[in-house]
Amino acid sequence: MLKTILIVGTGGFLGSVARYLTQILVEKYLHSTFPWGTFAANIAGCFIIGLVFALSERGNLLTPEWRIFLTVGFCGGFTTFSSFAYNNLTMLSENNLLQFFGNIFLSVFFGLIAVYLGIVLIRLIYGQ
């Protein structure tokens, strides 16, 4: 149990740092009131988790430790529903309805697409 906690914690630490750096990088180039940094991290995290789950389907390509490190740890730290919810609440309270609905739709739509593309990429590489 302690080993698993340390694996998840290490992945979470690295995912959180990667998310922070992603947000800084994205916001450096995209000056907007729209939360592009959170959006980019969440979509990238969806793609990564799609890759990981597709690799896991391949049998012994990922150990259970690597799978938990990458999904629960790294992706858990890298993506964030709480920031997504806070950004939406802020846009809603500012009566910024176009950005509010746009963020919800774009995040869900592209999140699903990113997971699917991650799975498809692994299936293309390893065959189905």
- Report the C-alpha gap between 96 and 2 in whole angstroms: 45
Q: For every one of its 128 residues, what pLDDT tens digit does the chain have, with 9 covering 90 and above?
A: 999 999 999 999 999 999 999 999 999 999 888 899 989 999 999 999 889 888 888 877 888 899 999 989 999 999 978 778 888 998 999 999 999 999 999 999 999 999 999 999 999 999 87
- Could you tell me the residue ranges of all domains in the chain? 2-126
The vertex-21 CA angle with 44 and 81, nearest 5°, equals 50
What pLDDT score does 33 carry?
85
Q: Tokens 């994205």 identify what position?
A: 26
Question: Could you tell me the CA-to-CA distances from 55 to 11, 28, 105, 119, 124 in Å, in that order?
Answer: 18, 33, 28, 8, 11
pLDDT at 119: 93
pLDDT of residue 109: 97
